[in-house]
Structure 1
Amino acid sequence: MMAHVLLWGNAYAEIERDGAGRIVALWPLLPDRTQVYRNMQTLQLEYLTVLPDGRQIILPAFQVLHIPGLGFNGIVGHSPIRMAREAVGLALATEEFGARFFGNGAQLNGVLEHPGKLGDTAHKNLRESFDEKYSGLSQSHRVMILEEGMKYNRIGIPPEDAQFLQTRKFQIAEIARLYRVPLHMLQDLERATNNNIEHQSLEFVVHSLRPWLVRWEQAILSKLLTPQEQDIYFAEFLVDGLLRGDIKSRYDAYAVGRQNGWLSADDIREMENMNPLPDGKGKIYLVNGNMVPTDQAGQQTQTGQQTQTG
């Protein structure tokens, strides 16, 4: 379904329930065969989908899990590939050009000029002989021998003049921008260093993954949990494994908040996706200095003054 939403802009899945209304399965629907429209009589959204056997069915909104991408009407998202079709098309064109160029390894982007007139048989024999000797990667860079006053005239633009390699690299970055993927994750380490890769990885989690995870969490909460279940359960993607590279910075920040009294143990455990401490012990805030609970700080001060007076 994530591939559907990244390529088509929408992901759909039919929600199957048993007789008691409990969800038992999710059946992905093909995004190119599913349409969303509003029933003007009920004002509710409905989903028209075509099954693999050709049958058309209409599903109500509560029976479909829908993950939309970027859109303008609040209902469906647009396909990133369709919106950036020019950039994708240029990348495919350069890839095909490179394949054809290296496939014809002799670089014979030219014409053979013969002083006379060749018949059909001679023309066919000349082409077959030329392809056999000079076409293909294994025949590249061979010395060309021409007879009967023939001349070879090269045409076209060499790849270095057309900046072929630079174009391919730029198109990789252009498509990566569609999905906010750092180039070092695509094995492009030209501008990567040991210092910035870690921060770029964190930015990928925060700015690239997190928006999609929020969409999934919201859709799961609204479509897969009943109002009663929403009071007990929630959906959350844990990305701690992707953030562990910066765990020292997180723990240093927690220590500052804990020692200065504006973070409790339960606050920190919640941010680390851990359960609170039992019996409310994690709700106690500490003050810097003696590290005593805030509700006992005044009592200890008064006790200390009475001891000095005595």
Structure 2
Amino acid sequence: MGLLKRFRRQEIRADPDETMFEDALLTALLGSGKATKQMALQVPTVSGGIDLIANVVAGTPVKLYREENGKAIEVPNDPRVRLLNDETGDTLNANEFWHAMIRDYYTGKGGYAYINRVRGEIRSLHYVDESRVAVNRNTDAIFKDFDLLVDGTVYRPFDFLKLLRNTKDGAVGVPITEENAKLIEVAYQSLCFELYLVKKGGNKKGFLQSEKRLDKASMDELKQAFANLYSNSSDNVVILNNGIHFQESSNTSVEMQLNENKQSNAEEFAKIFHISTAEMGGTAGDTASLAKLAAIPLMKVIECALNRDLLLEKEKGSLYWAFDTKELLKGSMKERFDAYKTALDANFMQVDEVRFAEDMEPLGLTWIKLGLQDVLYDPKTNTIYTPNTNQMQHMTEQTLQVPQEGGETL
């Protein structure tokens, strides 16, 4: 099959769900085009939310673990760990790499990175802009398969690390510019309208009504005067002669409640990213809540992609990738210390285990506190120990004597 036959020209049809605006002002404000990646990133709430989540993901180390006898053992010296956390082997470092991948994950068809393998060993990871990636799918709805094309070169799916949002075929994802196109377009056009008002000095649009016919020279002079007024480059005054009246044809940003609409739109964008509006606005919030609702679900997507594409077939099942989210979920110092106190009092944690969780040096304490009021029972040996009296007793099965009426017992 030739390359020209791989792609079929599709007929563009109008969306039946497209809303038509008859009012000229609404059409100019809301527009009629599709939301694009560039439009979405122009909206501060969108770009800020993506950067906030990307900062959390990029700042959390990725580790490789081996599962042995039900225990997770870290594999620290694998060269792939360095590629994901420090140097990718590309012009982007690991922090820039994750930011670019996550940005394409939300606003494009997915995040794509080429896996450079030399004799089966992964040497480097190379981020590829999603706009440079084309997908050639097969026609089987059950046994799905596809090729990835970059600048005309055909690659197999295992050649790329893929982060896909709400994908249905494992090849491309669904960006927020498609799922939330109207919201992004409204926010973007609102910014454009504000820019227009600023450039025009905040003056309203309108038209002039004259009681008598003006000659061409008078009309040209009047047009130039209004052009200078709307240029916002100098202080200009327009003098209307007798019989000429100005009629407004638009509202100001205050009358249109643009500021209130921006706040409402910010709340809607916060729902998309699962981030509170306070954190979206830059106010410090609960880091653990941000991690649980926004960052960790994305980390799970990344972990599945790493387990699929960055592990050899013989390693799958015994090795796995995971983010170290311990620091994200610690909570505040008061919450952690209250939990540690409960754990110590209940004797299911020791002092050195608490110090290890807080990255402190162990004291070498192995004892467990026991109260003298407690009675200890060992179900394996059926023995009872009473610390208060320092006595050990063996529990044997005995018939329980229950007195009955008339002096008889069972």
Settle same-fold status: TM greater than 0.5.
yes
Partner AA of 1:127 in structure 2: K
- 2:321 matches 1:220: no
Q: Which residue of 2 aligns with 1:156?
A: 250
Q: 1:110 aligns with which of 180, 185, 206?
A: 206
- 2:227 matches 1:147: no
| Higher RCO (Cα < 8 Å, 6 or more apart) | 2
Give the Cα separation in 1 of the matches to 2:257 and 2:244: 32
Pairwise mapping of residues 89-128 of structure 1 onto structure 2 (< 5 A)? Answer: 89-105=185-201, 107-128=203-224
Residue correspondences, number: 284
* Residues 258 and 73 of structure 1: CA distance in aligned 2, closer, same or farther (over 3 Å): farther
Q: Which residue of 2 aligns with 1:304?
A: 390
Q: 1:26 aligns with which of 125, 130, 137?
A: 125
**Is contact 2:209-2:244 (8 Å) kept?**
yes
Give the Cα separation in 2 of the matches to 1:221 and 1:119: 78
Give the Cα separation in 2 of the matches to 1:66 and 1:215: 10
Pairwise mapping of residues 78-93 of structure 1 onto structure 2 (< 5 A)? Answer: 78-93=174-189
**Is contact 1:105-1:139 (8 Å) kept?**
no
**Is contact 1:285-1:294 (8 Å) kept?**
no
* Residues 65 and 188 of structure 1: CA distance in aligned 2, closer, same or farther (over 3 Å): closer
Which stretch has the larger CA shift, 157-166 or 79-88?
157-166
How far is 1:167 from its partner? 1.2
How far is 1:122 from its partner? 3.1
Q: Which residue of 2 aligns with 1:194?
A: none
**Is contact 1:260-1:287 (8 Å) kept?**
no
Partner AA of 2:104 in structure 1: H
Give the Cα separation in 2 of the matches to 1:268 and 1:229: 33
- 2:277 matches 1:177: no
Partner AA of 1:4 in structure 2: D
Q: Which residue of 2 aligns with 1:59?
A: 155
Which stretch has the larger CA shift, 103-112 or 228-237?
228-237
How far is 1:44 from its partner? 6.6
- 2:384 matches 1:289: no
Query: Matched residue of 1:117: which SS?
Result: coil
* Residues 123 and 239 of structure 1: CA distance in aligned 2, closer, same or farther (over 3 Å): farther
TM (normalized to structure 1)? 0.74
* Residues 234 and 248 of structure 1: CA distance in aligned 2, closer, same or farther (over 3 Å): farther
* Residues 162 and 126 of structure 1: CA distance in aligned 2, closer, same or farther (over 3 Å): same
Q: 2:333 aligns with which of 247, 270, 285?
A: 247
How far is 1:65 from its partner? 1.1
Query: Matched residue of 2:115: which SS?
Result: strand
**Is contact 1:46-1:58 (8 Å) kept?**
no
**Is contact 1:8-1:79 (8 Å) kept?**
yes
For structure 2, the residue ranges without an aligned partner over 5 or more in a row are 1-100, 393-410
How far is 1:91 from its partner? 0.6
- 1:75-95 superposed Cα distances (whole Å, 9 cap, x missing partner): 542111111000001111111
Q: Over aligned residue pairs, what C-alpha RMSD do you find? A: 4.0
* Residues 84 and 231 of structure 1: CA distance in aligned 2, closer, same or farther (over 3 Å): closer
Q: Which residue of 2 aligns with 1:193?
A: none
How far is 1:213 from its partner? 0.7
Higher helix share: 1
**Is contact 2:340-2:354 (8 Å) kept?**
yes
How far is 1:176 from its partner? 2.6
Q: Which residue of 1 aligns with 2:106?
A: 6
Percent of residue pairs bearing the same amino acid type? 19
Give the Cα separation in 2 of the matches to 1:48 and 1:228: 25
- 1:68-123 superposed Cα distances (whole Å, 9 cap, x missing partner): 11234565421111110000011111111111122212513111222332344432
Q: Which residue of 1 aligns with 2:324?
A: 238
- 2:265 matches 1:165: no
* Residues 85 and 39 of structure 1: CA distance in aligned 2, closer, same or farther (over 3 Å): closer
How far is 1:247 from its partner? 3.4
- 1:254-292 superposed Cα distances (whole Å, 9 cap, x missing partner): 34234324456898689x598xx9xxx99x89575379x
How far is 1:14 from its partner? 1.6
